[in-house]
């Protein structure tokens, strides 16, 4: 069973991609799916768990690769419950869950092969510099998304974000001025500070940003003294009110410098906004499958990069 999609506007509204992007994904998805299916078959035969040839048995409801891709993209774009997801594709809720669990890794690998998956970690400064070789500047920010309130009291405190006043998870995002997401950090709980996340993934002992212009927001106070690099730019912070300075203000030059930084930093905000076209990032995340909270944001970042490249 498949969704009835009448035109490209409806396709983008239901899946988050246009026809060109869908065709690119489907071609690679078909290859990855067939390889995965063949590998699973060979393992089962070697273990003596299967004798029937490939293709035998009951036919699945998601019969074609097109239906499988639409199924996964629809879930990411709309984030329905499994009852709702299953009802649209002729599946029971449990089967919708099982299909999604099996197909999400196939989509992930497909986007990796298409070359649009952002880097998730760098093992050395050389690897980082190679990834940024064609860039003069990068922009660093954090994206925060809602998460269901954990039942455990310690966990709920860990996930509670004082900034957002709700339970959240966070990821560091590094983009170019062309809005391409170059790096997507691993998922942290909402209590973690933005700058602490950066220092964990890019230890200050290494000269990560020595040869690049780097723009950050006021959440990264201390970055200019902690990291090597003469082109690390952070907005001026308005002085605190005191008896000596009852009405503290930034100078006109400081305001102008802040505006210049903001005019470039807006590109990473556009990239984050592009990811959040998918409702799975804007609705409180409720799935308990291990690693899924991290995988879904990587998928949406890759889909955003794919949209920029096509």
Mean pLDDT, residues 220-234: 94
Please report which confidence band the pLDDT of residue 68 belongs to, taking 50, 70 and 90 as the band edges: very high
Residue 156 sits in the same domain as residue 191:
yes
Residue 267 sits in the same domain as residue 158:
yes
Asked if residue 88 is part of any domain, the answer here is yes
Per-residue pLDDT, 276: 96
Please report which confidence band the pLDDT of residue 304 belongs to, taking 50, 70 and 90 as the band edges: very high
Per-residue pLDDT, 211: 86
Residue 108 sits in the same domain as residue 129:
no
Residue 189 sits in the same domain as residue 298:
yes
Residue 164 sits in the same domain as residue 34:
no
Q: Report which DSSP code applies to 281.
A: G
Residue 149 sits in the same domain as residue 277:
yes
Residue 50 sits in the same domain as residue 24:
yes
Per-residue pLDDT, 152: 87
Asked if residue 120 is part of any domain, the answer here is no
Per-residue pLDDT, 57: 66
Structure tokens at 303: 């889909």
Asked if residue 230 is part of any domain, the answer here is yes
Please report which confidence band the pLDDT of residue 56 belongs to, taking 50, 70 and 90 as the band edges: low
Q: Report which DSSP code applies to 228.
A: -
Asked if residue 200 is part of any domain, the answer here is yes
Asked if residue 118 is part of any domain, the answer here is no
Please report which confidence band the pLDDT of residue 212 belongs to, taking 50, 70 and 90 as the band edges: very high
Mean pLDDT, residues 272-281: 97
Q: Evaluate whether 167 touches 191 at the Cβ level (below 8 Å).
A: no
Per-residue pLDDT, 242: 78
Whether residue 2 has pLDDT greater than 90: no
Say whether 128 sits in a helix, a strand or coil: helix
Total domains in the chain come to 2
Residue 87 sits in the same domain as residue 212:
no
Residue 91 sits in the same domain as residue 146:
no
CA distances from 225 to 85, 164, 184, 204, 220 (A): 50, 28, 24, 10, 11
Q: Evaluate whether 22 touches 15 at the Cβ level (below 8 Å).
A: yes
Model pTM?
0.92
Looking at every residue in the chain, the average pLDDT score rounds to 93
Asked if residue 261 is part of any domain, the answer here is yes
Per-residue pLDDT, 269: 96
Q: Evaluate whether 15 touches 73 at the Cβ level (below 8 Å).
A: yes
The model's pLDDT over 138-172, given as tens digits with 9 standing for 90+, comes to 999 999 999 999 888 888 999 999 888 999 999 99
The 3-class secondary structure across 283-302, one letter per residue, is: CCECCCCCCHHHHHHHHHHH
Say whether 105 sits in a helix, a strand or coil: helix
Asked if residue 182 is part of any domain, the answer here is yes
How far, in Å, CA of 126 to CA of 258, rounded? 31
Residue 96 sits in the same domain as residue 135:
no
Asked if residue 295 is part of any domain, the answer here is yes
What backbone torsions phi and psi does residue 17 show, to the nearest 5 degrees?
A: -130, 160
Per-residue pLDDT, 51: 65
* Nearest of 205, 204, 215, 223 to residue 136 by alpha carbon: 215
Lowest mean pLDDT among 2-6, 93-97, 113-117, 153-157: 2-6
- Helix (H) / strand (E) element for 191: namely none
How far, in Å, CA of 33 to CA of 50, rounded? 19
- Helix (H) / strand (E) element for 173: namely strand 166-175
The model's pLDDT over 29-48, given as tens digits with 9 standing for 90+, comes to 999 999 998 888 788 878 87
Residue 148 sits in the same domain as residue 101:
no
Q: Report which DSSP code applies to 147.
A: B
Range of the structural domain that residue 66 is part of? 8-113
How far, in Å, CA of 125 to CA of 110, rounded? 27
Residue ending a domain, among 58, 85, 113, is 113
Residue ending a domain, among 62, 84, 113, is 113
Higher pLDDT, residue 282 or 51: 282
Per-residue pLDDT, 47: 81
Residue 106 sits in the same domain as residue 159:
no
Residue ending a domain, among 78, 113, 148, is 113
């Amino acid at each position: 069973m498949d969704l009835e999609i009448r035109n490209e506007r409806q396709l983008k509204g239901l899946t988050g991609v246009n026809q060109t992007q869908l065709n690119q994904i489907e071609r690679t998805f078909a290859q990855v799916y067939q390889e995965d299916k063949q590998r699973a078959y060979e393992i089962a035969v070697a273990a003596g768990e299967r004798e029937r040839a490939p293709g035998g048995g009951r036919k699945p409801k998601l019969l074609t690769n097109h239906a499988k891709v639409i199924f996964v993209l629809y879930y990411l774009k709309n984030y329905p419950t499994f009852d709702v997801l299953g009802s649209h594709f002729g599946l029971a809720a449990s089967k919708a869950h099982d299909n999604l669990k099996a197909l999400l890794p196939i989509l992930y690998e497909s986007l990796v092969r298409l070359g649009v998956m952002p880097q998730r970690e760098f093992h050395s400064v050389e690897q980082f510099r190679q990834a940024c070789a064609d860039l003069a500047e990068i922009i660093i920010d954090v994206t925060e998304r809602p998460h269901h309130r954990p039942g455990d009291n310690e966990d709920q405190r860990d996930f509670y974000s004082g900034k957002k006043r709700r339970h959240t998870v966070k990821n560091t995002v590094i983009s170019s001025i062309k809005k391409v997401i170059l790096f997507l950090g691993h998922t942290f709980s909402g209590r973690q500070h933005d700058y602490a996340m950066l220092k964990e993934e890019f230890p200050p002992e290494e000269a990560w940003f020595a040869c690049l212009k780097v723009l950050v927001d006021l959440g990264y106070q201390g970055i200019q003294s902690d990291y090597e690099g003469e082109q690390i730019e952070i907005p001026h912070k308005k002085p605190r009110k005191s008896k000596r300075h009852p009405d503290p203000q930034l100078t006109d030059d400081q305001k102008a410098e802040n505006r210049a930084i903001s005019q470039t930093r807006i590109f990473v905000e556009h990239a984050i906004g592009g990811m959040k076209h998918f409702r799975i990032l804007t609705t409180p995340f409720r799935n308990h499958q291990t690693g899924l909270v991290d995988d879904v944001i990587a998928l949406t970042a890759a889909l955003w990069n794919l949209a920029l490249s096509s």
